[in-house]
Amino acid sequence: MKTTSVVHYLGNLRTSCQHSYSGAIFITDAPLDNQGLAEAFSPTDCVSTALASCMMTLMGIAARTHTIDLSGMQAEVFKVMAADPRRISEIRIIFSFQKAYTQKEQALLENTARHCPVAKSLHPDIHQNILFNWQN
């Protein structure tokens, strides 16, 4: 089995993460509230952002299958941390759409998003607060 990624510790609470298939690299940094400089995504930012990205990707697959135009779609991600133990307690995502969709299309896209692999992989104690702002 080929590795998914290789992560190197760079010191000063920073890592370099390289995708094994594409060679793409991103840096993580500890957040300000946990001794970091917040000069890049923190690991928990990556988890929260991955949820939105996964949901969008699956909506994109459904849109391609059903000939739905998702251009202009965006998501705002809000991560809520808890203490003792320090962990993500909630991920809020607000999806915004620039086009009008039928009720059937909306239901298809929402259902698809809520069943993405990242959503199903997160611990059930992490509240997933997902809002879809549809243009009507």
Evaluate if residue 76 carries a pLDDT over 90.
yes
List, as own/partner pairs, every contact residues 45-51 make where C-beta atoms lie below 8 angstroms and the sequence separation is at least 24, other chains included. 45/79, 47/79, 47/88, 47/91, 47/122, 48/77, 48/78, 48/79, 48/88, 48/91, 49/77, 50/118, 51/77, 51/91, 51/93, 51/116, 51/118, 51/119, 51/122, 51/128
Q: What is the mean pLDDT of the chain?
A: 97
pLDDT at residue number 26: 97
Kindly report, residue by residue over 31-75, the tens digit of the pLDDT: 999 999 999 999 999 999 999 999 999 999 999 999 999 999 999
Q: Which domains does the chain have, with CATH numbers?
A: 5-34 (no CATH), 43-135 (3.30.300.20)
Q: Give the pLDDT band (50/70/90) at residue 135.
A: confident
Kindly report, residue by residue over 92-107, the tens digit of the pLDDT: 999 999 999 999 999 9
